[in-house]
Amino acid sequence: MQIQSAFSAGMQGLQRASNVISEETLNINRQTTQSRQQDQQVAAADAQQTANPTPTNAAAEPNRAAGTDTTQSLVRLEQQELLAQANVRSLRTADEMLGNIIDIRV
């Protein structure tokens, strides 16, 4: 593998990981906001329906789904962090190789 292609592959991988990290961070933020809004709506509905009680399990179900989505987003976030670290290591290695080549030729 040429040094230039090692740099390109490392940078492309780092950019992809960075993009996915940004997307997952936004997903987590969005899911957390939706979960809080649902919790507030359930609390308001409970306060208003004291005369006619209804089960809140149906309202709580989306929170479990949101929790699962948040967990998946956190797992993907961790995966992308590890991929970014691996790409940084490949960039460092390519940089060291280039430095060694320059030192040998000079």
- The tens digit of pLDDT for each residue in 61-82 reads 555 566 678 899 999 999 999 9
Condensed to tens digits (0 to 9), the pLDDT of residues 25-61 reads 999 999 999 889 988 888 888 888 865 665 555 444 5
Residue 64's pLDDT is what?
A: 57
Q: What is the DSSP-derived secondary structure letter of residue 101?
A: H
Structure tokens that stand for 59 in this block:
């309202």
Helices (H) and strands (E) in the chain, counts: 2, 0
Alpha-carbon span 82 to 91, nearest angstrom: 14
Whole-structure pTM over 0.75, yes or no? no
Structure tokens that stand for 91 in this block:
């960039």
